[in-house]
Structure 1
Amino acid sequence: MNEEFKKYEGKDIDVFFHSGRCIHSANCVRGLPGVFNVKKKPWINADEETADKIADLIDKCPSGALQYIRKDNTKRGNNNDYN
């Protein structure tokens, strides 16, 4: 994972965020507000929802600012090459 991504570690999935790629569509905060909450620190809590739901939402990130690695090694995602 590129060093410009910040890692948010969870029990079943690690979420990575690249602030320079984010286009602020807010799909994440609207889709899973328990996981993506800009009013909390850290703003991403990967243990607030299932790995499947988090992965599904991240796969829809239009900019590729969010990516993940599942701890069960079933999938790595978001391969969106926005930038």
Structure 2
Amino acid sequence: MKRENEMNKEDLLNKGYRKYSGEEIEVYFSKDICTHSGNCVRTMPTVFDTKRKPWILADNGEVDSAMKTIDLCPSGALQYIYKKDDK
């Protein structure tokens, strides 16, 4: 499930993204890029909940749904690395 313009872990971390690890997926978030569209929290509140710490729980939903939700992020503030692609 490689995506166009996909960054690797080092690129994401160097650009200031914070990593939220799950068993099958690593979710990365940049508060500096986020435009607060709310697509993530409306689409998948079990994974993305701004009232919770940490606000992203990568294992709280289906991986495919999480990846589709992250792909909806208009700003690019959310990114992911599917661990099966890493092997």
Q: In 2, Cα distance between the equivalents of 1:48 and 1:16?
A: 15
Q: So what's the TM-score if we normalise by structure 1? A: 0.85
> Are residues 1:53 and 2:34 paired?
no
Residue of structure 1 equivalent to 2:26 = 14
Superposition deviation, residue 6 in structure 1: 0.1
Runs of 4+ aligned residues of structure 1 deviating over 4 Å after TM superposition are none
Q: Percent identity?
A: 49
Pairwise CA RMSD = 1.1
Gaps of 5+ in 2: 1-10
Q: So what's the TM-score if we normalise by structure 2? A: 0.81
Counterpart residue type for residue 76 of structure 2: G
1:43 aligned to which of 55, 58, 61:
55
1:34 aligned counterpart, secondary structure: coil
Counterpart residue type for residue 12 of structure 2: N
Considering Cα pairs closer than 8 Å and 6+ residues apart, tell me whether 1 or 2 has the greater RCO: 2
Superposition deviation, residue 31 in structure 1: 0.4
1:29 aligned counterpart, secondary structure: helix
Q: In 1, Cα distance between the equivalents of 2:67 and 2:81?
A: 9
Higher fraction of helix: 2
Counterpart residue type for residue 27 of structure 1: N
> Are residues 1:2 and 2:12 paired?
yes
C-alpha contact (below 8 Å) 2:24/2:83 kept by paired residues = yes
Gaps of 5+ in 1: 75-83
> Are residues 1:33 and 2:42 paired?
no
